[in-house]
Amino acid sequence: MIELKGITKTYGGKKTTTTALSGLNLTIGKGEIFGVIGHSGAGKSTLIRCINLLERPTEGEVWVNGIELTNLSKRELQQQRRKIGMIFQHFNLLSSATVYDNIAFPLTLIGTPKAAIAEKVNELLVLVGLEEHQSKYPSQLSGGQKQRVGIARALASDPDVLLCDEATSALDPQTTDSILKLLLDINQKFGLTILLITHEMHVIQSICDRVAVIHQGGIVEEGPVTETFLKPKHPVTREFINREGEEGVKLASSVPHPEWTRLVKITFLGAKTYESVMSQVVRETGVNFAILQGTISTIKDVPYGQLTVSFEGASADVDRTLALLKERDLDVEVLE
């Protein structure tokens, strides 16, 4: 659906040049919710604006739905942009227009008949839950309501792709969750491909299928959210993730317990999160254990658990315990 090939974007002249993106490659499948996460200045916004050519890459190719956009004429590009919706961090609504007219704006620009506009806008008002607010102006709306208007406006042209540039960064946590739920519902209802740019791991964890981590203009890690979240490889990825075992490691290091023979982080995924695997294994091997840190949560709709555990017992028994846990498809990482 979206393929970026060797994208480089530089700013400046001959004397001073700033490189925002450097040889970046990325592929996003049809119907995916794909997240790109990175720190400020990493190149996130430049990346998303290169997809609809609001920023034209210095080098490289941008393919959307099988069409290479950088080779299109101005008129052809305008037509293709109608298939790419975009929502923004600060909403970008017309302050002097009502909710209805803001949603209708893209259709008005291309000369859509009034009856067709009314049908589409009313449908979108129901979709985003703003039927009772259609005559209000942006100044009369909450942040979450403004973003719902932005989402409805982006969907007015029936796009194949929805680009979200820090769409929840200006919202409180509860409103963020409601907007993410709306985006997930839209993805499931219409099969819309959604690209989310964010610096919040919670956003990625809540609704994304895959994630790419951007750093200094390049992708440093990419993969399914479950794998990237639970087994981060790059230091930047680890910065974004609250690694549940770290507090347990600090606790174990600060208190002398010479009988502890192994400090381990154990990750449960899927149905095993709620199974009594640990108690079954230690009954079999006879070792004792203490849970120093633990959590149970979800990544999108997949449950997971992480425990930092200290095992006490003979070295051979602890080794056997870890082996049995691995045999039961748990991820076991010896920390100390």
Q: How do residues 93-107 score in pLDDT, each as one tens digit? A: 999 999 999 999 999
- The pLDDT score that the predictor gives to residue 274 is 84
H-run or E-run covering 287: none
- The pLDDT score that the predictor gives to residue 130 is 95
- For residues 310 and 288, the answer to whether their CB atoms sit within 8 Å is no
- For residues 274 and 298, the answer to whether their CB atoms sit within 8 Å is no
Instruction: Report domain 2-231's class.
Output: alpha beta
Which residues does 85 contact at the CB level (< 8 Å), separation at least 6? Answer: 154, 155, 157, 159, 161, 162, 163
- The pLDDT score that the predictor gives to residue 8 is 95
Structure tokens at 302: 């997949």
**Which parts of the chain register pLDDT below 50?**
244-245
- The pLDDT score that the predictor gives to residue 256 is 59
Cα(23)–Cα(5) distance, integer angstroms? 8
- The pLDDT score that the predictor gives to residue 244 is 44
Structure tokens at 183: 């985006």
- The pLDDT score that the predictor gives to residue 245 is 47
Structure tokens at 143: 């942040």
Which residues does 113 contact at the CB level (< 8 Å), separation at least 6? Answer: none
The model carries a pTM of: 0.86
Residue ranges of the chain assigned to CATH 3.40.50.300: 2-231
Does the domain made of 245-334 have the CATH classification 3.40.367.20? no
H-run or E-run covering 22: strand 17-28
Residue ranges of the chain assigned to CATH 3.30.70.260: 245-334
Structure tokens at 239: 């910065």
Structure-derived torsion over alpha carbons of residues 227, 233, 235, 241, reported in degrees to the nearest 10: 20
